[in-house]
Copies of this chain bind each other. A is one copy, B any other.
Amino acid sequence: MDDTNTAVRAAEHGHTACRASIETLARIGDKWTVLVVGALSLGPIRYNQVRRVVEGISQRMLTLTLKGLEQDGLVSRTVYPTIPPRVEYELTDLGRTLIVPLRAVHAWTVEHRPAILAAREKFAERERQAASRQTSFTTPK
Asked if A72 and B25 make an inter-chain contact with CB atoms under 8 angstroms apart, the answer reads no
- Bound together, the chains give a CA A4 to CA B21 distance in angstroms of 34
Contact status of A38 and B15, CB under 8 A, knowing A105-B101, A108-B98, A120-B71: yes
Secondary structure at the A interface, as helix, strand, loop or mixed, is helix
Asked if B30 and A115 make an inter-chain contact with CB atoms under 8 angstroms apart, the answer reads no
- Bound together, the chains give a CA A131 to CA B50 distance in angstroms of 28
Interface: A87 (CB within 8 A): no
Contacts A22-B31, A25-B29, A71-B119 known; list 16 others, CB within 8 Å.
Answer: A7-B43, A11-B38, A11-B39, A18-B35, A21-B113, A22-B34, A24-B109, A24-B116, A29-B29, A70-B123, A73-B119, A73-B123, A94-B112, A94-B115, A101-B101, A101-B105
Task: Give me 13 A-to-B residue pairs in the complex whose CB atoms sit less than 8 angstroms apart, sorted by A's number.
Answer: A8-B52, A15-B35, A17-B110, A20-B113, A22-B31, A22-B34, A24-B109, A24-B116, A26-B30, A71-B119, A73-B123, A94-B112, A104-B104
